[in-house]
Chain A
Amino acid sequence: MAKRDLLGGLELLVLLALIRLRDEAYGVPIAGAIAQHGGKEPALGSVYLTLERLAAKGLVTSRRGEPTAVRGGRAKTYFRITALGTEQVRRTQTVLIGMWSGLPQLQGSP
């Protein structure tokens, strides 16, 4: 498998968050979903830079929501994983499971 098919750590977490959040995935809930599942809450700036990188790779798409007063008149940007993104997550999952399997040091609960 080509190295380019593998996702980076935050890229993978963000894509998994998009799958979980479905139509409600924008910066704040994405960071919250990562924190909720045991990861340290990433900075929103890092989340958006990651999303920008994923969008450039064609792994996510985005759409603009309505601007609201509480956001200073700025709209939310909602993100959704693409079919290519889902495929990349599956490939990364396969590689990680393959690397994990057969390692006695990693057997059992953490």
Chain B
Amino acid sequence: MSTTLPAWILWLLDKLVSSAYRESLLGDLLEQRAQGRSKAWFTRQVVWAVVASTVADLRAAYGVMLMIATFVGLSAAAALGTIKTAPGLEAFDALLPALGAGWLVGRIGGVSTGIVLVGLVAIREVPPLYAAVMQFLDHFGGLWFITDHAMRALPDSLALAALGILASALLGTRPRHDPPMPAPTGA
């Protein structure tokens, strides 16, 4: 069986799983795929690895947990319209996408940080691109509303996003490379 897999799955695993044994995990998954496991099984394993790794990171970094909890809570509130109508809480409109973008970009890190930020601004500032993205996200039901809300507030929140990135970088990252180990012994 071919072990060729969608590049996005490998990218997801590489960027979002922070286990020190990430490379070994990927090797195990490819080995199992070659031995007959389905692509759906492989994808489930990758998604679970991302979830489990994120939970472990959150347990190790309560600051990031608070940030994400705030983001999720405000997203829900924004979707229900309470933030938009409550007086004096307009700052949350900027804080909302800032926290989300900060977490995501901080977790991805590296060169991708700049690319993601530039991409977000481009989507926001280029109407045809913005319309295309929103049309695509419309396939996911109500998700587009939160995303649309976040994107419209994005220009005002990049500074806050930078703070989120910094917080994520300081609090939310763990070693992304296999730890040093003894030399191979031919196993």
Q: Which A residues form the contact surface with B (CB < 8 A)? A: 23, 26-28, 43-46, 48-49, 51-52, 55, 62-68, 70-72, 74-78
User: Count of chain B residues with Cβ under 8 Å from any Cβ of A?
Assistant: 35
Q: Which residues of B contact A52 (CB under 8 A)?
A: 19-21
- In the assembled complex, the Cα of A67 lies from the Cα of B186 at a distance in Å of 10
Contact A66–B28 (Cβ < 8 Å): no
Q: How far is the CB of B54 from chain A (nearest CB, A)?
A: 11
Chain B residues with CB below 8 A from A74, complex form: 23-24, 26-27, 30
Stretch of B45-53, B71-79, B120-128, B151-159 with 4 or more beta carbons under 8 angstroms from chain A: B45-53
| Known contacts A48-B21, A63-B187, A78-B187: A28-B45 contact under CB 8 Å | no
Given A64-B178, A68-B31, 13 more pairs with CB closer than 8 A = A27-B21, A27-B25, A44-B32, A44-B49, A46-B48, A46-B52, A52-B21, A62-B179, A63-B181, A64-B183, A65-B185, A72-B30, A75-B27
Chain B nearest CB from A40 CB (Å) reads 13
Alpha-carbon distance A43/B44, docked complex (angstroms)? 9
Q: Is the CB of B26 within 8 A of A45?
A: no
B34 touches A70 (CB 8 A): yes
Please pick, from A26, A45, A71, the residue contacting B52 in the complex, using a CB distance under 8 A. A45
Contacts of B187 in A (CB 8 A): 23, 63, 65-66, 76, 78
Given that A43-B49, A48-B21 are known contacts, is A27 also in contact with B28, CB under 8 Å in the complex? Answer: yes
17 A-B contacts, Cβ less than 8 Å apart? A26-B28, A28-B28, A43-B49, A44-B29, A44-B45, A48-B22, A52-B20, A52-B21, A55-B179, A63-B182, A64-B183, A66-B186, A71-B30, A72-B30, A76-B24, A77-B21, A77-B181
Smallest distance from the beta carbon of A59 to chain B beta carbons, Å? 15
Please measure, in the bound complex, the distance between the C-alpha atom of A46 and the C-alpha atom of B181, giving whole angstroms.
21
